[in-house]
């Protein structure tokens, strides 16, 4: 009769592990001891750890400290992990040791036991062909590999998803700026009537916000791309062969197709995570910008009859279970909720970033989880907001013209000719007596009809 469990061993003794899974004793201990929440370690971090271990194995082989067959096995299994073929074998909670040691060992143990299955057709608990610590983790420590993986994962998402989403939104905004460039409308400051501008002018402001957000993210990535791999336990590279960090970096660049660099000071890159705090700040800036844009869109489209109503947005779904025909700015609402989450994530990352006592920051799972979530949420939300809202916006020319003609702030155009105080007198008199600006100016005998028309032309 086939046994359901096998006995795995670590330095604390024996542990029962289900035969269904490739993980070992240290993973099982973490799985049992940290039943906190339902947030699993992001697979993006797992895949990035596998990429880094692939690179480390190739560097170790080239430097003569790992034989070719072991190198090939590690590389092959890392590729399986990255392809998502072994996802079920990575069960650990985000809320674990602050260094991420148990997740690093989870990856090491899965590679080790997967190698057993490939080599022997079964997992032997003694004399494993690939040792999780001595072979898979060779020239590494969790303390340099886990922050390396976070940096690889976050950079990959930001470069591959977040920034492209912003750029697609900018393309749509460019089209709207051109479409709206000649549509004059009333401006609003303090939510009150102000001087006119064009609808294209308003949308150009949104486009400029996005351009600056891209610049901020690109600047932050310069620091984030500095990898501490090769620093091992405290940053001085103990137990690594000469040149390991540069060679491992070379393979990481090759595997990721991203221009990562070696951290010039690995002590900084492991004891602090200022680069992640900075990147989170850039994502928070993007969230702040998107919050402003989404709120503007729902204000301008409010109504449709009893609000501002100067633009219409796509009717994507019914807006009420009781009010027939109601359509709500749902994409704006989803976007702004994401922005709130990202701003909250930034607070958590900032707080975690403060905790780099002495030679290691031990809030890494928290920081990595929130950084990756922020980058992913913003990418997805911006794509959705762009496709299902911004691209379908149309002006309501009748409402725009009505508001423009009804505004008292057109009186500002008279300031250079009659002075601020006389212009204010006209505006206040018109508002009090429900007159047009022209009617008020004539009744107050400040301007004739002909002169008013000439100045307002």
Q: What is the CA angle 101-107-112, rounded to 5?
A: 120
Q: Both tokens of residue 179?
A: 């479409």
Chosen domain end from 398, 419, 437: 398
d(CA 333, CA 298): 9
- The residue range of the domain holding 442 is 407-456
Q: Indicate if 301 and 365 belong to the same structural domain.
A: yes
The partner residues of 395 in beta bridges, in order of sequence, read: 311
Please report whether residue 259 resides in a domain. no
Q: Indicate if 219 and 128 belong to the same structural domain.
A: no
Instruction: Kindly report the CATH number assigned to the domain that includes residue 69.
Output: 1.10.275.10
Please report whether residue 154 resides in a domain. yes
Q: Indicate if 71 and 152 belong to the same structural domain.
A: no
Please identify which residue in the block is written with the tokens 């009744």.
443
Q: Indicate if 303 and 221 belong to the same structural domain.
A: yes
Q: What is the pLDDT of residue 1?
A: 43
Instruction: Kindly report the CATH number assigned to the domain that includes residue 436.
Output: 1.10.40.30
- Centre a 10 Å sphere on the Cβ of residue 231 and count the other Cβ atoms it contains: 29
Chosen domain end from 106, 138, 170: 138
- Centre a 10 Å sphere on the Cβ of residue 321 and count the other Cβ atoms it contains: 7
In degrees and rounded to multiples of 5, residue 227 shows phi and psi of -100, 135
Q: What is the pLDDT of residue 223?
A: 98
Please report whether residue 174 resides in a domain. yes
* Active-site amino acid positions: 190, 320
Domain count, the chain: 3
Closest CA to 277 of 399, 150, 391: 150
Closest CA to 241 of 60, 100, 109: 60
Q: Indicate if 321 and 389 belong to the same structural domain.
A: yes
Closest CA to 193 of 402, 433, 443: 402
Please report whether residue 251 resides in a domain. no
Q: What is the pLDDT of residue 2?
A: 62
Q: Indicate if 391 and 319 belong to the same structural domain.
A: yes
Residues contacting residue 72 through CB under 8 Å, at least 6 positions apart: none
Say how far residue 130 (Cα) sits from the centre of its chain.
Answer: 37
Q: Indicate if 34 and 70 belong to the same structural domain.
A: yes
Q: Indicate if 334 and 361 belong to the same structural domain.
A: yes
Please report whether residue 257 resides in a domain. no
Please identify which residue in the block is written with the tokens 């400051």.
189
* Polymer length in residues for the chain: 457
Q: What is the pLDDT of residue 317?
A: 85
Please report whether residue 291 resides in a domain. yes
Biggest distance spanned by C-alpha atoms of the chain: 107
In SS3 terms, the chain reads as CCCCEEEEEECCEEEEEECCCCCCHHHHHHHHHCCCCCCECCHHHHHHHHHHHHHHHHHHHHCCCCCHHHHHHHHHHHHHHHCCCCHHHCCCECCCCCCCHHHHHHHHHHHHHHHHHHHHCCCCCCCCCCCHHHHHCCCCCHHHHHHHHHHHHHHHHHHHHHHHHHHHHHHHHHHHHHHHCCCEEEEEECCEEEEEEEHHHHHHHHHHHHHHHHHHHHHHHHHHCEECCCCCCCCCCCCCCCCHHHHHHHHHHHHHCCCCEECCCHHHHHHCCHHHHHHHHHHHHHHHHHHHHHHHHHHHCCCCCCCCCCEECCCCCCCCCCCCCCCCCHHHHHHHHHHHHHHHHHHHHHHHHCCCCCCCCCCHHHHHHHHHHHHHHHHHHHHHHHHHCHHHCEECHHHHHHHHHHCHHHHHHHHHHHCHHHHHHHHHHHHHHCCCHHHHHHHCCCCCHHHHHHHHC
Q: Indicate if 178 and 310 belong to the same structural domain.
A: yes
Q: Indicate if 106 and 198 belong to the same structural domain.
A: no
Q: Indicate if 322 and 417 belong to the same structural domain.
A: no
Q: What is the pLDDT along the chain (457 residues), one digit of tens a residue?
A: 466 999 999 999 999 999 999 999 999 999 999 999 999 999 999 999 999 999 999 999 999 999 999 999 999 999 999 999 999 999 999 999 999 999 999 999 999 999 999 999 999 888 899 999 999 999 999 999 999 999 999 999 999 999 999 999 999 999 999 999 999 999 999 999 999 999 999 999 999 999 999 999 999 999 999 999 999 999 999 999 999 999 999 999 999 999 999 999 999 999 999 999 999 999 999 999 999 999 999 999 999 889 999 999 999 888 788 888 888 999 999 999 999 999 999 999 999 999 889 999 999 999 999 999 999 999 999 999 999 999 999 999 999 999 998 888 888 889 999 999 998 999 899 999 999 898 999 999 999 999 998 988 7
Please report whether residue 190 resides in a domain. yes
For residue 446, CA distances in Å to 415, 422, 429, 431, 438 come to 12, 8, 12, 16, 10
Please report whether residue 246 resides in a domain. no
Chosen domain end from 138, 170, 192: 138
Q: Indicate if 11 and 116 belong to the same structural domain.
A: yes
């Amino acid at each position: 009769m086939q046994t359901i469990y096998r006995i795995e061993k670590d330095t604390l003794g024996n542990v029962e592990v289900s035969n269904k899974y490739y993980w070992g004793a240290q993973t099982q201990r973490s799985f049992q001891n940290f039943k906190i929440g339902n947030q699993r370690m992001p697979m993006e971090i797992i895949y990035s750890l596998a990429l880094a271990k692939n690179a480390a194995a190739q560097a170790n082989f080239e430097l003569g400290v790992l034989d070719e067959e072991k190198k090939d096995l590690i590389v092959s299994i890392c590729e399986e992990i990255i392809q998502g073929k072994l996802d079920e074998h990575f069960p650990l909670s985000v809320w674990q040791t602050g260094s991420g040691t148990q997740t690093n060992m989870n990856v090491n143990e899965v590679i080790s036991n997967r190698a057993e299955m490939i080599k022997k057709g079964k997992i032997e608990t003694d004399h494993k062909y690939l040792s999780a610590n001595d072979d898979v983790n060779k020239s590494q420590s969790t303390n340099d590999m886990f922050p390396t993986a976070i940096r690889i994962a976050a950079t990959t998402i930001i470069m591959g998803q977040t920034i492209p989403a912003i750029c697609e939104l900018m393309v749509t905004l460019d089209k709207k700026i051109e479409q709206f460039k000649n549509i004059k409308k009333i401006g609003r400051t303090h939510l009150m009537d102000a001087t006119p501008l064009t609808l294209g002018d308003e949308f150009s402001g949104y486009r400029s916000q996005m351009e600056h957000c891209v610049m901020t993210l690109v600047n932050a990535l310069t620091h984030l791309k500095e990898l501490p791999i090769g620093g091992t336990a405290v940053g001085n590279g103990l137990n690594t062969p000469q040149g390991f960090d540069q060679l491992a970096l070379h393979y990481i660049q090759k595997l990721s197709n991203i221009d990562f660099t070696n951290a010039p000071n690995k002590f900084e890159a492991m004891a602090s995570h200022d680069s992640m705090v900075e990147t989170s700040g850039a994502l928070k800036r993007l969230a702040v910008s998107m919050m402003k844009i989404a709120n503007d869109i729902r204000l301008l489209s409010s109504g449709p009859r009893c609000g501002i109503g100067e633009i219409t947005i796509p009717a994507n779904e019914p807006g009420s279970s009781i009010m027939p025909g109601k359509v709500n700015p749902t994409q704006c609402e989803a976007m702004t909720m994401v922005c709130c989450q990202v701003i909250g994530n930034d607070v958590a990352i900032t707080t975690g970033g403060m905790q780099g006592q002495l030679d290691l920051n031990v809030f890494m799972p928290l920081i990595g989880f929130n950084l990756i979530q922020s980058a992913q949420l913003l990418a997805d939300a911006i794509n959705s907001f762009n496709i299902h809202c911004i691209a379908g916006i149309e002006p309501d020319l009748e409402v725009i013209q009505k508001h423009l003609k009804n505004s008292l702030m057109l009186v500002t155009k008279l300031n250079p000719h009659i002075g601020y105080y006389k212009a204010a007198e006209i505006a206040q008199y018109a508002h009090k007596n429900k007159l047009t600006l022209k009617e008020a100016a004539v009744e107050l005998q400040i301007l004739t009809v002909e002169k008013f028309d000439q100045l307002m032309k």
